[in-house]
Chains A and B, each alone.
Chain A
């Protein structure tokens, strides 16, 4: 099955700095890579995602890059703010719109991001 590794496990940055979180996956069939933000005791919140036919995607201060050959993808947050402090999870799935299955998410182990004033 799919295995997703995520680094670092904790990340502390100063407000306004950039933060980068990296993930690697094992299954070359995976083709969908979402990132979730989770505050303590709350639901995982989808913040950005990328499909395997795209190398990079950006949404305001958040961007994700994907290297299919190396099987790794990264989350970049620029101009960090205190409200960015949370646990961030990367995930992978191989769902290609299959009606019989797929799409289950395999998560990385999470990165606790702390943005300090």
Chain B
């Protein structure tokens, strides 16, 4: 079965640079969620989109922005990167009409040096 796809899988950036993370949800899934997971931490919700509209917002810094496109893929844009942004970034998708289950992608490991 098709799963959530994330790219790139690894990303190394320097402080103050920008990064763009991409997420391709499971086919026919209409909702995308972004989570940030620091080392030894639980995933923290950042932002979500339903049918290309922002549906919820969590602890996402103002330096970050995201959107969902007409093909349902989503991009997380991160600017003025800080050392503390180093983390695993997961995208998850679900189909609202199909239930509440969220399925996670393999994640993007972002390292800021």
A residues whose Cβ falls under 8 Å from a Cβ of B: 32, 34, 36, 41-46, 49, 51, 89, 93, 95, 97-110
Q: What number of B residues sit within 8 Å (CB to CB) of A?
A: 29
Main secondary structure of the interface of B (DSSP, over half): strand
Q: Which of B56-111 contact A (CB under 8 A)?
A: 56, 58, 88, 90, 92, 94, 96-97, 100-107, 109
What number of residue pairs across chains A and B have CB atoms under 8 A from each other?
73
Closest approach, in angstroms, between the C-beta of A106 and any C-beta of chain B?
A: 7
Instruction: Please list 26 pairs of residues, one from A and one from B, whose beta carbons are closer than 8 Å in the complex, sorted by A's number.
Output: A32-B100, A34-B102, A36-B104, A41-B109, A42-B107, A43-B106, A43-B107, A51-B100, A89-B43, A93-B100, A97-B100, A99-B50, A101-B55, A103-B33, A103-B56, A103-B100, A104-B33, A104-B56, A105-B35, A105-B45, A106-B45, A107-B43, A107-B44, A109-B41, A109-B42, A110-B42
Picked from B42, B48, B50, B101, the residue with its CB within 8 Å of the CB of A49 is B101
| Per-residue interface assignment for chain B, residues 6 to 24, with 1 indicating a CB less than 8 Å from any chain A CB and 0 otherwise | 0000000000000000000
CB of A108 to closest CB in B, whole Å:
6
Question: Which residues of A lie under 8 Å from residue B103 when comparing CB positions?
Answer: 46
Is the beta-carbon distance between A102 and B45 smaller than 8 angstroms? no
Contact B48–A103 (Cβ < 8 Å):
yes
Residue from A46, A89, A104 within 8 A of B58 (CB atoms) = A104
**A103, B96: Cβ atoms closer than 8 Å:** yes
Is B101's CB under 8 angstroms from A34's CB? yes
**B42 / chain A contacts, CB cutoff of 8 Å:** 89, 107-110
